[in-house]
Amino acid sequence: KNEVEQSPQNLTAQEGEFITINCSYSVGISALHWLQQHPGGGIVSLFMLSSGKKKHGRLIATINIQEKHSSLHITASHPRDSAVYICAVKSGGSNYKLTFGKGTLLTVNP
């Protein structure tokens, strides 16, 4: 069983819809990342969080440490949000090894 599970694997939405992508993990962590990967492959870090909630523009990320669960929300989705969204966790320890989920492919249609 993968230590990081994302759902859904694929998500299709209409422009303007509210999007939620979920991430569950099975290990104790010190931080969780949400990453965005566009066609062509480059990855951008959207958020790094260890508790609570963070907001950047139309993107909101929340984490519940007790439930080992995080969500990424996109408000007023737009076709340019179409990408793969990846959850990654850093477990405790002295080095910085990330364990990645398999990603959620989001397609936003106009």
Partner 1 sequence: DGGITQSPKYLFRKEGQNVTLSCEQNLNHDAMYWYRQDPGQGLRLIYYSQIVNDFQKGDIAEGYSVSREKKESFPLTVTSAQKNPTAFYLCASNSWGQRTEAFFGQGTRLTVV
Contact between 57 and partner 1 by CB under 8 A: the answer reads no
> Which CB sits closer to partner 1, 19 or 29?
29
Site for partner 1, residues 62 to 81, rule: CB under 8 A? none
Using the contact rule CB under 8 A, the part of the chain among 17-25, 51-59, 67-75, 90-98 near partner 1 is 90-98
User: What SS3 class is residue 79?
Assistant: helix
43 is a contact residue toward partner 1 (CB under 8 A):
yes
Among 57, 66, 95, 110, binds partner 1 (CB under 8 A): 95
Instruction: Count the residues in the chain.
Output: 110
Instruction: Give every CB contact of residue 87 below 8 A, 6+ residues apart in sequence.
Output: 4, 6, 21, 23, 25, 32, 33, 34, 35, 70, 72, 100, 101
Q: Site size for partner 1, by CB under 8 A?
A: 26
- Exposure pattern of 45-68 as b/e (b: 16+ CB <10 Å)? ebbebeeeeeeeeebbbbbeeeeb
98 touching partner 1, by CB under 8 A? yes
31 binds partner 1 (CB under 8 A): yes
